Amino acid sequence: MKNDINTSNLEANKNIKTKKRMDWRIEFARIPAIIVVVVVHMQLDTGWIESNTMPQNFLLYVAMAVFMFASGFVQGLKDEFNKEGSISKKYSKYVKKRFIRLYSGYYLALGSVFLSRLFAYYIISRPFPCEFNAWTIFLDLTGTWGVFTQTGCGGIWPPGWFIGAIFIISLLYPFLRRLSSINKMYIYIIMIITVIARIIVAFTLYNPAYFFPLVWLTEFCLGMLIGDWSRRTGGPPEVNKSYQRGIIKLGRRVWPLYLCHIVPIVWMSMYADLWEFIVVFIICLPLTELYHRILNFITPRLVKKIL
């Protein structure tokens, strides 16, 4: 009995070490991705590039692919939804938890960007990017611009489409994980179908298959499969602990930076000079830390209260 307990503890410790070991690697991938996102959004909002400009928007596409891969990878590190009946037992709680974690940040960003746009409208006459009516308000509150519109970008907070997309894919994740545990061939088929659909959309419409959530299933599924492999095998060798901690500390600010970066961008002038780009980056640093602390305070409490 004692040996069984010791074995169980060793396995648990191994899983914890594996997750910590892999955390820094996925955070490392997110850091340059968010820098690309911020820079391209600055250029889009100030008129330096159009929505179809290359290679900037190609870099934005790659950055979003990295985020989708990372989301799938993190889910793959967990041992869940692999057994028969696990979906019926855990699905409801899982969805509530994902909604709280994603949309607590979404509404924080939506509210703060709205206030920033409102002040900018009255102080420097910067117009809102869309009209306000019942439909656009619904799309903003649900983050579903990418589902119901071809332009995809949110009205008040354009990057908000990404959170709606992640949440919709999260709704499918338990089923994808269960299919993977039965036979990974199902996941490979889904990935192939998604790639084909993306190619068809890219060549038949002016939409590059960017905003609709399901076109990102390929990257998410690939991340999930590699994350699951890392969980089962222990992953690559460890590196210097202080290096890991530094990367993780920075990486955990990626999400808050994504949430806050439009707040100062709203105030940038058309065809802004380089100094405005530098100022916005500087302003984003304390804002990122503020959002990080707010989310660390409210999200666990919401999870505890609702679940």
Q: What is the pLDDT of residues 148-164, one digit of tens each?
A: 887 777 788 888 888 99
Measure the CA–CA gap between 89 and 69, rounded to whole angstroms: 27
Nearest to 239 by CA among 26, 21, 20: 21
Percent of the chain with pLDDT over 90: 33
Nearest to 202 by CA among 193, 214, 215, 190: 215
* Banded model confidence at residue 304, pLDDT cuts 50, 70, 90: confident
- What per-residue confidence (pLDDT) applies to 122? 87
Task: Report the C-alpha gap between 6 and 12 in whole angstroms.
Answer: 10
The residue ranking higher by pLDDT, 130 or 83, is 83
Residues 147 and 212: beta-carbon distance below 8 Å: yes
Residue 58 has pLDDT above 90, yes or no: no
Cis peptide, bond prior to residue 32, ω within 30 of zero = no
pLDDT at 144: 87
Least confident range of 29-43, 109-123, 267-281:
29-43
Q: What pLDDT digit, counting tens, does each position of 249-276 carry?
A: 887 888 999 999 999 999 998 888 999 9
Residue 194 C-alpha from the chain's centroid? 19
Q: Which tens digit of pLDDT belongs to each residue from 194-222?
A: 988 888 776 665 555 678 888 899 999 99
pTM of structure: 0.83
- Which range, of 12-16, 103-107, 223-227, averages the lowest pLDDT? 12-16
Question: Higher pLDDT residue, 273 or 244?
Answer: 273
Position 209, amino acid: A
As a whole number of angstroms, the distance between CA 266 and CA 270 comes to: 10
> What average pLDDT does range 82-104 have in this prediction?
89
- At 147, the amino acid letter reads V
C-beta of residue 36 within 8 angstroms of C-beta of residue 63? yes
Comparison of pLDDT for 237 and 232, the residue scoring more: 232
Per-residue pLDDT at 146: 82
